[in-house]
Amino acid sequence: MSWRAPKTAGEKLRAALLQPLSALYFAGVCLRLTAYRTGLCKQIRLPVPVISVGNLTVGGTGKTPVVIDLAKRLTAAGHKVGILSRGYKRKSNKPLVIVSDGKTLLCSPEDAGDEPYLIAQSVPEAVVIVGSRRAKSGFAAIKDFNCNVLILDDGFQHISLVRDCDIVLIDYQDDLNNKHLLPAGDLREPLTALASANWVVISKVPKNPDLERLDHMRQQINKLAPQALVTFVSFPSVQAKRLYSNKNVDVNLPLAGTRVFALSAIARPESFYETITDLGAIITGSKSFPDHHWLDDKDLQSLKSDFAQSQAEIVVTTQKDRVRLPSELFNELPMAELILECSWLGPVPTLTGGSHEQSLQAAT
């Protein structure tokens, strides 16, 4: 089913049949929000600025590259950054895992989860902590590592912790007029939840966007969140790295004219395919798994067989997927990862609206 926007008659029928469950889900969301607003459930405020990067939907809007970009800018400005993640789909059940102490990676991708591990690799100066209780992780980042600013990765629904700035991402391809709550759709919260956002970022803007579409999305967001600042971001590929088991890489691997087998386990692989073709490569085969999927031996054998049949010259995967792949595979198959950058097409999000606002600027 296409969660983003049911299109076929079957998808629309299924969405309609699931609406009663979505109504129950909505009631649960309202009860939870009411509990916090009335003080029945207490919010925790940490003694340093807290910035949340999140979304309204289930995955796939580009939170990880935005977190990495934000952490790099904060670090460059002289701040000690702590990044707090729940480590979705990690294999460890430990309540708190120190992924990086700001100097060294301290655990495996299996213990950390793919996104926290990638973030720690990308911003080695940042402290990265995984745990379901973000307040506990936050206190550890402050007390044990002297962090003076915290970033919540995928934190918009984590309302038990007070945020000084909420950055919410919306995919350029999303149709805000055709959105439904789980399980009929992909919304984790009603669109009206945007009213609490400080920044709304329209993400994954293509190389040649529809300017009318962007303007229409901005107008919709302005109605839902009149106080929020709206901006845009794209994630162009700056290079492809050849992967080897000894971690040596060729940072300037050209893909133009190359026959590529695309491998991914992300929420919305369409933009990944588009990026590959934008680089001039020809996709002759592909394999997509569910988001955050860890490949087992059967998956790997299937991948090798499909690659051979595709007559592709190389397997290209995402940075997040690379983290989950066994390094031995890089010697068995010719493989590369796409390296993306965060390219802002409007104002760059800064810390806004919190009690710590005077003490920190998140971007210059």
pLDDT, one tens digit per residue, over 208-262 is: 999 999 999 999 999 999 999 999 999 998 788 888 776 656 667 889 999 999 9
- Domain match, 181 and 298 both: no
Is the model's pLDDT at 360 over the cut of 60?
Answer: no
Dump the DSSP string for 158-169.
Answer: -TTB--SEEEEE
Question: Is the same domain home to 227 and 243?
Answer: no
pLDDT (mean) for 138-155: 97
Same domain, 279 and 295: yes
φ, ψ of residue 14 in degrees (nearest 5):
-65, -40
Do both 169 and 66 map to the same domain? yes
Weakest mean pLDDT among 4-13, 22-31, 186-195, 343-352: 4-13
Q: Is residue 111 part of a domain?
A: no
**Mean pLDDT in residue range 17-38:** 92
Residue 363 has a pLDDT of: 43
DSSP state of 230: E
Q: Do 75 and 212 fall within a single domain?
A: yes
Mean pLDDT, residues 161-170 taken together: 96
3-class state of residue 68 by DSSP: helix
Residue 293 lies in a domain: yes
Going by DSSP bridges, is the β-strand pair 127-131/335-340 parallel, antiparallel, or unpaired?
Answer: unpaired
279 in a structural domain: yes
Same domain, 215 and 319: no
Task: Write the CB contacts of 313 (distance below 8 Å, at least 6 apart in sequence).
Answer: 258, 259, 260, 334
Residue 165 falls within a domain, yes or no? yes
Q: Are 286 and 354 part of one and the same domain?
A: no
**Choice between 239 and 202, residue whose per-residue pLDDT is larger:** 202
Tell me, yes or no, whether 30 lies in a domain: no
Q: Give CA–CA dist 351/364, Å, rounded.
A: 11
Say if residue 176's pLDDT is above 70: yes
Does the structure show a pLDDT above 80 at 359?
A: no
**How far is Cα 72 from Cα 77, in angstroms, rounded to an integer?**
9
* pLDDT of res. 252: 74
Percent of the chain surpassing pLDDT 70: 93
Question: What's the count of helices (H) and strands (E) in the chain, helices before strands?
Answer: 10, 14
- Whether residue 105 lies inside any domain: the answer is no
Q: Give yes or no for a contact between 105 and 247, defined as CB atoms under 8 angstroms apart.
A: no
The confidence score (pLDDT) of residue 358 equals 43
Q: Are residues 165 and 224 in the same domain?
A: yes
> CATH number of the domain that 350 lies in?
3.40.50
Joined together, the tokens standing for residue 145 give 């590592």
| Band (133; pLDDT cuts 50, 70, 90) | very high
Q: What is the pLDDT of residue 250?
A: 61
Asked whether residue 54 falls in the same domain as residue 177, the answer is yes
Is 290 found in the same domain as 181?
no
Q: What confidence score (pLDDT) does residue 99 get?
A: 98
Mean pLDDT for all residues in the chain: 91
Q: Would you place residue 130 in the very low, low, confident or very high pLDDT band (cuts 50, 70, 90)?
A: very high
- Domain hosting residue 354, numbered range: 50-79+148-235+343-359
So what's the pLDDT on residue 248?
Answer: 58
> 276 falls in which pLDDT band (50, 70, 90)?
very high
| pLDDT tens, residue by residue, 300-323 | 999 999 999 999 999 999 999 999
Q: What is the pLDDT of residues 51-76, one digit of tens each?
A: 999 999 998 899 999 999 999 999 99
Rounded to two decimals, the pTM is 0.92
Contacts of 208 (CB under 8 A, 6+ apart): none
**In terms of domains, do 202 and 252 share one?**
no
Q: Say if residue 291 is in the same domain as residue 352.
A: no
| pLDDT tens per residue, range 294-303 | 999 999 999 9
In the predicted model, what is the mean pLDDT of residues 176-201? 94
Averaged pLDDT for residues 108-126: 97
Q: Is residue 92 part of a domain?
A: no
- Of 173, 168, 172, the C-alpha closest to 201 is 168
The tally of domains found in the chain comes to 2
- DSSP 8-state secondary structure symbol assigned to residue 125: T
Is pLDDT at 355 greater than 60 in this prediction?
Answer: no
